[in-house]
Structure 1
Amino acid sequence: MSSTLRLSRTLASSSRVSLTQRPFHTSRIARDHFLDVDAAGFQKRALDATNSKPVLVDFYARVLTPLLKSVTGPESGFDLVTIDVDQHPEVAGEYKISALPTVVAFKDGKVKNKFVGFRNEADVKKFLGML
């Protein structure tokens, strides 16, 4: 395991409030846009070729997610899906996630772009604009 990944996991572990699903929002519409999924949920939401709406996948360490949450949602035209790589290493392995956080943008069921490491809001919005 890389030292970056170890450090990210250590930082994430020290800031965890709960090991269960992260509570983002309570409305039904918001819950449909911010999902903490398992491998099956990832398959259904990110890899569905019939879904032309871009889906960002945050292979997270709980560092970047609040920023991603603030720039995605029902009005943004983007969904946000998070995957806990400790709980679902098979998905992270399939997409060669070697450092956290890693954000992968899927559209039409295919990888369109990705970035590794923390980004500020302007950089994330620029990334979204390229999709």
Structure 2
Amino acid sequence: MNEEASPHIVCPHCHTTNRVKRADFSSAPDCGSCHQPLFAGAPVSLDAASFDKHVGRSHLPVVVDFWAPWCGPCLQMAPAFAQAAKDLEPQVQLAKLDTEAHQAIAGRFGIRSIPTMILFKEGREAARVSGAMNAADIARWVRSVG
């Protein structure tokens, strides 16, 4: 089987890498390790350890919202980002990284303003946008650059 037929999906719960047939995406596959759903319909909260697993190992595009708890626009955008996660899964995984708690990762990607969303493909940055958006605009942006 090739990557297209059975891409790697990183579990949003235990961060284990799973190989899942694309044909099985619509049948709500579970993680082989923790048996939780691989597609939770919600953004994955990342930390320093799980960030590299999701961005580097997943064959799905991963959109990371770089945010901080003191940022008003970030907090306003959070429900829209959550809605976009429901709309875009299972083709794209959405995740959040608290830049206050994980400053080294934010620095690694040169995050200067928040919220900033970066779309990663195969571990590399493919696109970036800064500023709060509504759910439809997030989904439209992801589809246009994904």
**Superposed displacement of residue 68, structure 1:** 1.4
User: What corresponds to 1:101 in structure 2?
Assistant: 115
**Superposed displacement of residue 53, structure 1:** 0.6
Equivalent positions of 1:28-39 (< 5 A) are 28-31=37-40, 34-39=43-48
Q: For 1:57, what is the secondary structure of its paired residue?
A: strand
Output the TM-score relative to the length of structure 1.
Answer: 0.68
**Superposed displacement of residue 34, structure 1:** 2.5
User: What corresponds to 1:89 in structure 2?
Assistant: 103
What is the alpha-carbon distance in structure 2 between the residues aligned to residue 88 and residue 75 of structure 1? 25
Which consecutive segments of 4 or more residues in structure 1 shift more than 3 A? 27-33, 73-76
User: What corresponds to 1:52 in structure 2?
Assistant: 59
**Superposed displacement of residue 58, structure 1:** 0.6
Query: Which has the greater radius of gyration?
Result: 2
How many matched pairs? 103
**Superposed displacement of residue 31, structure 1:** 4.5
Output the TM-score relative to the length of structure 2.
Answer: 0.62
CA 1:75–1:47 in 2, change beyond 3 Å: closer, same or farther? closer
Query: Which runs of 5 or more residues in structure 1 are unaligned?
Result: 1-26
> Are residues 1:77 and 2:91 paired?
yes
What is the alpha-carbon distance in structure 2 between the residues aligned to residue 75 and residue 103 of structure 1? 17
For the 8 Å contact 1:63–1:101, the answer to whether it is kept is no
Query: Which runs of 5 or more residues in structure 2 are unaligned?
Result: 1-35, 69-74
